[in-house]
C-alpha cells in the first residue's frame, strides 16, 4: 500500500464488447465464473489427491490440501495493534468472514539499530502468526524489505540513510543487498517453521511491494527471490503485488512460474479486465484472480478532511470479484494506530509538498481503530462475504466498552531547554555545518541545532533552504535581564519555507540560535522515499553561511523502544512540583516547548477500559500514557482531535499522562479523557467521501 490514486467520486468503468476465449481445461470464457469453491468440482476429481498439507496454484485457482480455495482475506498489521488485542481483532476479522490474514513485516521495527534485533512485545511477529494459526486463518506474509504501508520510510530502518557512501535501496546495489541478506538471515528462519507445508499458517510470501510503481531493476527482484528460496524452499508460493496497469506489471513482476503476480487497483474499477491483464504476467494455469489490496477506505494526512468511502458501494465492488470466484484481500480489514513516531508520509510533485499521516490509521476500515464493528461498512461487507463463504460465519462480537475518565489537570513540569541545559547525558555532536538527524544518531522525534552569531542593531535575516520537516527557531542573549531565556522567533516548515527575520537586540555577547527540528514521519512511497530529516542544507544569516554547530539529541520513548535511562522522561515523571511554584501556560508568552504532566485514577480493575484523550485547545505535540508513546497530536491542523488509548496501556490505580507541548498549551492546562474518537478539528474539520464508486 499504496500508490497515489485520484480522489474523483466516480471511476470510469471499462467495458469490453468482445470476450476472448482461452483454454481453461475445457474452453471457458475468460469472464465466466470459475468452478464453485464451496462444492466439489470436476477439476477437484482431476486434481491429484494429497495426503500432506499443501497450498498451491493450478488451473488458475488456489488449492488447499487438494481442494479449491477462495482467498477472502484482510490486512491486519500486528505492529499497529497492542499484543493484548491481537486475538480480539482477529476474532472480529473472523466474524467478518475472512479466512486469510495478510500482514507486512517492518524491518525498522525489528532492527531499530544495526544489529539490535527486536522480536518482543508489539514486534513479536511469531506469536502473532501462531495466533492466526490457532484461530484458523491462513496467512499471506509481506516480508519486504520495502513495505510502504504508510509506515516510516516504507519499513526501511532509518540508519540506512546514515551510511556512507550512500546506499541505493530498492536496487541491486551490492552494499544494500548485503544488509538485506543479513536481515533476511534473521527473519526468514523464523518464518520457515510457520510455512503451511511445515504445519504453520503461511501460504504465500510477498517479495518487495508494488515495485512496478517505483523501479525496473529485475536483478534486484531476482536476488530477493533467490534469497527467499534459499531460506524457505521451492514449494512456498512467492508473490508480487503491483498496480493493475501494464506498465506497473511490466516493471514489477517476474515472468514465468517461479513467482505469482497479484494485482491491486482502485475500488470501483472493473476488476475482470484487470484480472485478464494479470494472466499475461503469470504462467498458463497459474493466474488465479487476486486483488491483493481491495481498498475498504483510504488514508488521511494532517490538514485534510477525514477520508471515508461509501459502505454499500464498497460491498458492491467486492461482490463483483467474489461472485465469479475471484479472491480479494481487504486493505484494511482493521487499520489500527501509528503509535510512537512510526507514521509515514507522502509527497506531491516535489519533496517540499510534504503530507504526513495521522496518528490514527483507522482507514475507514470495517473494524475501526478501537475495534468497533457496529458500523455500516462491516455489515455490508459481511453480507457479501457470507454469500460466498464455504463455512458458516461466527456471530459478531459486541464493541469493546469504552469510557471517559473526565478532565485531567496537567502541571507544567519543566521547559525543554532547561532540561537539556542541566542534563550531562544528552548526546551532543559538533560539526562545522549542520548534520542530518540520521548522521547525528537521532532517528526519530527531535534534534536541537545550536549555533551563535554577532548581534546587529537592525536585526538579521535567517534562511534555511531545506528543513525536514518543521523547525521552531529561538534566540537568546546571556547578557539580557531574562537570564538568557530563549525567545521564540518563528517556524520554518518544509512545505512553506521562507526567510525568517530575527529581532534586533542590544546583546553584549554573541546571540545563541536554537533550531528545534521535528521529524514528522518519513516518506513511505514514491521517488522521494529516501527522506533524511533535520537541517539538510547550509544555514544562511544575512546571506552568509553560518557555521560551527552543535546538535543535541532528545531521547523520547518510541514504539517498543524505551531507553533504559531516559533523563527527559525521568524528569517528566518525577514528583509533581508544588502548585505555588507553577507557571501557568497563559503566563508563558515565550512559546517554549515544555513538558506537562497529570494523573488520573482508576479505582477498580474492571473499570480499566479503552479511552481517548482529547487535545482540543492544545497546539502540537507528543503524548505519553504510563510511558507508552500514544502518538502525535495536532488539533490546530486536524482533523484528528483525540488520541486512542487502549485499555492495556492503563491499570488500576494512578495513571500518568506526560505531554510534550511544542507551542501553545491549553490555557487551563486540561485535557479530557472521552469515550469516542473525534476527527472534526482544525483545517480538516469535516468529512471527505473519497474514492466513491
At residue 456, the pLDDT reads 82
At residue 42, the pLDDT reads 38
CB 301 within 8 A of CB 367: no
Does residue 125 have a pLDDT over 60? Answer: yes
Strands 259-264 and 290-295: parallel
More confident residue, 425 or 272: 272
More confident residue, 582 or 103: 103
At residue 559, the pLDDT reads 85
**Residue 598 pLDDT class (50, 70, 90 cuts):** very high
Helix (H, G, I), strand (E, B), or coil: what is residue 96? helix
**480 in active site:** no
At residue 342, the pLDDT reads 98
Looking up cell 534473521 gives 186
Q: Please state, as a whole number, how many other Cβ atoms lie within 10 Å of the Cβ of residue 535.
A: 25
Cα–Cα distances in angstroms (integers) from residue 244 to residues 12, 279, 389, 521, in the given order: 14, 11, 26, 28
Q: Using CA atoms, how far apart are residues 621 and 661, in angstroms rounded to an integer?
A: 5
Looking up cell 515523571 gives 573
Exposure string over 245-282, b if 16+ CB within 10 A, otherwise e = beebbebbbbeeeebbbbbbbbbbbbbbbbbbbbbebb
At residue 546, the pLDDT reads 98
At residue 508, the pLDDT reads 87
At residue 51, the pLDDT reads 52
- State yes or no: cis peptide before 391, omega within 30 of 0: no
**Residue 573 pLDDT class (50, 70, 90 cuts):** low
Nearest to 339 by CA among 633, 676, 134, 567: 633
Q: Using CA atoms, how far apart are residues 57 and 260, in angstroms rounded to an integer?
A: 9
Does residue 40 have a pLDDT over 50? Answer: no
Average pLDDT over residues 88-93: 98
At residue 572, the pLDDT reads 61
CB 292 within 8 A of CB 241: yes
What digits encode the pLDDT tens for the residues 538-567? 999 999 999 999 999 998 989 876 655 566
Query: What is the greatest pairwise CA distance in the chain?
Result: 93
Average pLDDT over residues 291-300: 98
Average pLDDT over residues 388-408: 97
**592 in active site:** no
**Residue 23 pLDDT class (50, 70, 90 cuts):** very low
At residue 157, the pLDDT reads 98
Q: Using CA atoms, how far apart are residues 292 and 121, in angstroms rounded to an integer?
A: 28
At residue 588, the pLDDT reads 39
Nearest to 93 by CA among 149, 150, 136, 62: 136
Q: Using CA atoms, how far apart are residues 494 and 488, in angstroms rounded to an integer?
A: 19
Catalytic-labelled residue, pool 293, 304, 561, 661: 293
Q: Using CA atoms, how far apart are residues 414 and 597, in angstroms rounded to an integer?
A: 10
Looking up cell 523502544 gives 561
At residue 424, the pLDDT reads 73
Least confident of 62-76, 412-426, 616-630: 412-426
Q: Which grid cell is 109?
A: 521495527
Share of residues in the chain with pLDDT > 90 (%): 81
Exposure string over 101-140, b if 16+ CB within 10 A, otherwise e = bbbbbbbbbbbbeeeeeebeebbbbeebbebbbeeebbbb
Q: Using CA atoms, how far apart are residues 416 and 572, in angstroms rounded to an integer?
A: 10
For residue 643, the cross-strand partners are: 613
Does residue 687 have a pLDDT over 80? Answer: no
CB 2 within 8 A of CB 525: yes
At residue 453, the pLDDT reads 95
Cα–Cα distances in angstroms (integers) from residue 601 to residues 578, 655, 656, in the given order: 19, 6, 9
At residue 318, the pLDDT reads 98
Catalytic-labelled residue, pool 210, 308, 369, 592: 210
CB 438 within 8 A of CB 159: yes
**Residue 579 pLDDT class (50, 70, 90 cuts):** very low
Does residue 46 have a pLDDT over 80? Answer: no
At residue 52, the pLDDT reads 85
Amino acid at each position: 500500500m499504496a500508490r497515489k490514486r485520484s480522489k474523483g467520486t466516480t471511476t470510469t468503468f471499462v467495458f469490453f464488447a468482445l470476450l476472448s476465449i482461452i483454454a481453461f481445461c475445457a474452453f471457458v470464457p475468460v469472464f465466466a465464473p470459475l468452478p464453485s469453491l464451496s462444492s466439489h468440482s470436476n477439476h477437484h476429481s482431476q486434481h491429484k489427491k494429497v495426503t500432506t498439507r499443501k497450498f498451491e496454484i493450478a488451473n488458475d485457482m488456489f488449492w488447499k490440501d487438494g481442494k479449491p480455495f477462495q482467498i477472502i482475506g484482510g490486512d491486519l498489521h500486528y505492529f499497529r495493534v497492542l499484543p493484548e488485542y491481537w486475538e480480539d481483532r482477529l476474532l472480529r476479522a473472523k466474524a467478518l468472514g475472512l479466512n486469510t490474514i495478510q500482514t507486512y513485516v517492518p524491518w525498522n521495527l525489528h532492527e531499530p539499530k544495526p544489529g539490535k534485533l527486536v522480536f518482543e512485545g508489539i514486534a513479536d511477529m511469531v506469536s502473532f502468526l501462531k495466533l492466526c494459526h490457532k484461530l484458523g486463518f491462513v496467512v499471506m506474509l509481506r516480508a519486504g524489505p520495502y513495505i510502504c504501508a504508510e509506515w516510516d520510510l516504507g519499513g526501511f530502518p532509518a540508519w540506512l540513510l546514515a551510511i556512507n557512501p550512500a546506499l541505493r535501496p530498492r536496487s541491486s546495489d551490492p552494499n544494500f543487498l548485503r544488509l538485506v541478506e543479513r536481515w533476511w538471515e534473521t527473519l526468514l528462519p523464523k518464518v520457515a517453521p510457520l510455512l503451511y507445508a511445515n504445519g504453520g499458517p503461511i501460504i504465500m510470501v510477498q517479495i518487495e511491494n508494488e515495485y512496478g510503481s517505483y523501479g525496473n531493476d529485475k536483478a534486484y527482484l531476482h536476488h530477493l527471490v533467490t534469497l527467499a528460496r534459499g531460506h524457505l524452499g521451492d514449494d512456498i508460493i512467492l508473490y508480487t503485488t503491483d498496480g493493475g496497469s501494464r506498465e506497473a506489471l511490466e516493471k514489477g513482476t517476474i515472468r514465468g512460474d517461479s513467482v505469482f503476480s497479484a494485482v491491486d487497483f482502485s475500488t470501483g474499477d472493473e476488476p475482470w479486465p484487470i484480472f485478464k491483464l494479470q494472466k499475461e504476467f503469470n504462467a498458463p494455469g497459474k493466474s488465479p484472480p487476486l486483488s491483493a489490496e481491495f481498498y475498504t477506505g483510504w488514508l488521511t494526512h494532517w490538514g485534510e478532511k477525514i477520508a471515508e468511502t461509501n459502505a454499500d458501494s464498497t460491498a458492491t465492488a467486492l461482490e463483483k470479484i467474489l461472485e465469479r470466484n475471484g479472491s480479494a484481500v481487504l486493505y484494511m480489514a482493521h487499520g489500527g494506530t501509528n503509535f510512537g513516531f512510526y507514521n509515514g508520509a507522502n509527497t506531491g510533485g516535489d519533496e517540499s509538498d510534504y503530507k504526513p499521516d495521522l496518528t490514527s490509521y483507522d482507514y475507514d476500515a470495517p473494524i475501526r481503530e478501537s475495534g468497533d464493528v457496529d458500523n455500516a461498512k462491516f455489515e455490508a461487507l459481511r453480507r457479501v462475504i457470507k454469500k460466498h463463504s464455504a463455512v458458516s460465519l461466527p456471530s459478531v462480537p459486541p464493541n469493546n466498552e469504552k469510557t471517559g475518565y473526565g478532565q485531567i489537570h496537567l502541571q507544567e513540569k519543566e521547559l525543554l531547554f532547561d532540561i537539556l541545559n542541566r542534563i550531562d547525558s544528552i548526546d551532543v555532536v559538533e560539526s562545522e555545518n549542520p548534520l542530518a538527524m540520521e548522521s547525528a544518531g537521532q532517528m526519530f522525534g527531535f534534534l536541537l541545532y545550536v549555533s551563535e552569531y554577532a548581534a546587529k542593531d537592525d536585526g538579521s535575516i535567517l534562511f534555511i533552504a531545506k528543513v525536514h520537516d518543521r523547525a521552531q527557531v529561538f534566540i537568546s542573549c546571556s547578557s539580557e535581564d531574562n537570564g538568557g531565556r530563549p525567545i521564540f522567533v518563528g517556524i520554518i516548515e518544509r512545505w512553506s519555507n521562507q526567510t525568517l527575520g530575527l529581532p534586533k537586540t542590544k546583546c553584549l555577547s554573541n546571540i545563541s540560535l536554537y533550531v528545534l527540528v521535528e521529524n514528522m514521519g518519513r516518506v513511505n512511497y514514491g521517488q522521494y522515499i529516501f527522506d533524511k530529516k533535520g537541517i539538510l542544507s547550509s544555514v544562511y544569516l544575512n546571506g552568509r553561511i553560518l557555521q560551527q554547530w552543535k546538535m543535541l539529541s532528545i531521547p523520547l520513548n518510541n514504539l517498543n523502544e524505551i531507553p533504559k535511562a531516559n533523563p527527559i522522561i525521568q524528569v517528566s515523571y518525577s514528583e509533581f512540583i508544588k502548585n505555588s511554584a507553577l507557571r501557568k501556560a497563559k503566563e508563558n508568552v515565550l512559546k517554549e516547548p515544555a513538558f506537562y504532566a497529570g494523573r488520573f485514577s482508576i479505582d477498580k480493575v474492571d473499570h480499566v477500559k479503552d479511552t481517548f484523550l482529547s487535545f482540543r485547545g492544545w497546539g502540537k505535540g507528543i503524548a505519553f500514557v504510563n510511558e507508552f508513546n500514544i502518538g502525535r497530536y495536532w488539533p490546530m491542523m486536524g482533523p484528528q482531535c483525540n488520541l486512542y488509548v487502549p485499555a492495556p496501556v492503563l491499570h488500576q490505580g494512578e495513571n500518568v499522562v506526560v505531554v510534550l507541548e511544542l507551542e501553545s498549551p491549553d490555557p487551563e492546562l486540561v485535557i479530557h479523557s472521552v469515550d469516542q474518537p473525534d476527527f472534526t478539528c482544525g483545517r480538516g474539520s469535516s468529512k471527505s467521501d473519497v474514492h466513491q464508486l
